[in-house]
Structure 1
Amino acid sequence: MCSTVDLTYIAKWAIPCDENGAFLAPGTPPSPPAECPADDWTPFCNHVEFEAAEFLFCKDQMSASHIDTLLDLWAATLAKHNNHPPFANHQDLYHTINSIPLGDVPCQSFVVKFCGDKPDVDVPPWMNGSYDVWYRDPHDVVHNMLANPMFADEMDYRPYRKYNLATDEHQWKDFMSADWAWDQVDEISKDPDTDGATFVPVVLSSDKTTVSVGTGNNEYYPLYLSIGNVQNNVHHAHRDAIAIIGFLAMQKVIFI
């Protein structure tokens, strides 16, 4: 079965550019990723700090209290040499790990609670409660997906229309082959400042997860994010094309 792509309109979109946003000439290959020096352990100061963090956090998965105890003993042995261990305590270790510029976007949190008017009697328990919300910056998550080299050949940078040459039937497969994506680009193109830009549709989903073992039957609402540019076969295999960006824990309210 043969097929073709209608390039009448979409050829003016998603023009390749360099890291500074300057458009590249047709056929110009992308710049290779910058290579880090062999002795660059950023954000760790040296090889020992990196190895210590990997052992404590990844290999041994030591608890925070045990990390503090070990580091205190380590510091005591180095005090006579006017030296110090790689990390002051577990908070220092975690902060250094979270500042690694590679890998997943770090989690952040805030607390929400009801601030509206409450009834004089029979106040619902949820109005007096506070709830932790954990999240990751959606902009950074999307940036990581677009920059993932594994998706380079499995991502659509512009919407397209695909037809069966034998029957002239319109075929739909991936997100960017849909009429909706095409129509959105028509609207975006009305702004001359967007010439050459890539349309990145953000896809959000959520569900409820109940965890009863050792948690008092708490309910959790994870929020997932993906982008429509990634092709369906990548979504089905996950491969970091779907990420959790929000996590709301709800305590179960028991009415008596």
Structure 2
Amino acid sequence: RPCDAHGTFLPPGSAPEPPLEKMPDDWTPFRNHTKFETAEFFFIENQTPAAQINRLLDLWASTLVKHDDRPLFADHRDLYKTINNIPVGDVKWESFSAHYTGERPDIPPPWMDQTFDVWYRDPHQVVWNMLGNPDYIEEFDYRPYREFSTDGNVQQWKDFMLGDWAWDQADLIATDPETHGSMFVPVILGSDKTTVSVATGNNEYYPLYASIGNVRNNVRRAHREALAIVGFLAIPKSKYLHSFFLNFLPFR
């Protein structure tokens, strides 16, 4: 059943809500057009390194002291934070750090003293963006279904929502009156052995991918934003001697 953005059911055949129009002078989250242009120059056009951004902003600030004013950005972190808060486009990246907190031997291996960064994007928001992508309107399955050949009445298997598992899950959802009219959205997660090396040190990650079962396989294979990276999982390293510690394997 069609519904609005808050899940309230609408009459059958209701058209989708039109996207909200922005005012021509709305540069959110940038304070004004100049701040947007400055960020675009640093980040897109010139691809300025962080250290040089800081240097330029410091020089800019020195010219504004006598006017009791300050530059548009405090430093490169302020610039990046503003860019990440842009409400359109890709979901912003966030991170947290993790380290070992279990039992330690008298001489702990190096990995027990190291901190590992995990980068991620809100998977709920990533899936929400996929569901709202109008490019999939003709290649999107709103419900599980079964397809049979005209020759021999043989069941066909191609897309995710053609599978028996998706059909069974829809049956389970239908047993709860509170979910009647809801759409089943299976989330598919995967990773591979490709590592992303960042400069030097221990910065290697496993990329974590997400997709939804509602889009058809040809869309996912074409990488039309139906397959998204939602995280980079840190890979703790250890010398061969320590790699078989019982507490290292579950931590990794």
* Pairing 1:206–2:182 present: no
Work out which of the residue numbers 80, 83, 94 in structure 2 matches 1:97: 83
Query: RMSD over aligned Cα, in angstroms?
Result: 2.1
Please give the secondary structure, in 1, of the residue aligned with 2:140: coil
Name the aligned partner's letter for residue 226 of structure 2: A
Bigger RCO (CA 8 Å, 6+ sep): 1
| Partner residue, 2:250 | none
Could you report, residue by residue, the CA deviation over 1:217-247 in whole angstroms, capped at 9, with x for unpaired residues?
8642111111111111110011111111121
Where structure 2 has 5 or more consecutive residues not aligned to the other structure, the ranges are 242-252
Which residue pairs with 2:103 in the alignment?
117
Partner Cα distance (2:196, 2:18) in 1: 45
More displaced stretch, 168-177 vs 194-203: 168-177
Pick the aligned partner of 1:152 from 132, 137, 142: 137
Stretches of structure 1 lacking an aligned partner (at least 5 in a row): 1-14
Q: Is the CA contact (8 Å cut-off) linking 2:2 and 2:13 kept in structure 1?
A: no
Indicate whether 1:165 and 2:147 are aligned.
no
Displacement after TM superposition at 1:125 (Å): 3.7
SS in 2 for 1:171: coil
Pick from 35, 58, 67 the counterpart of residue 72 of structure 1. Answer: 58
Given that 1:218 and 1:252 are in contact with CA atoms closer than 8 Å, whether structure 2 keeps it comes out as no
Structure 2 CA distance for aligned equivalents of residues 213 and 143 of structure 1: 29
SS in 1 for 2:118: strand
For 1:145 and 1:207, the matched residues in 2 are separated by: 22
Give the drift of 1:120: 4.5
Tell me which of 31, 39, 45 is aligned to 1:53: 39
- TM-superposed deviation, 1:76: 2.6
SS class of match (2:21): coil
Normalising by structure 2, what TM-score? 0.87
Displacement of 1:210 in angstroms is 4.1
Aligned partner of 1:5 in structure 2 is: none
Moved more, 76-85 or 220-229: 76-85
Q: Is residue 88 of structure 1 aligned with residue 74 of structure 2?
A: yes
Q: Deviations over 1:180-211 (max 9, x none)?
A: 10000101111111011111111111122346
CA contact (8 A) 1:56 1:62 kept: yes
Partner of 2:125: 140
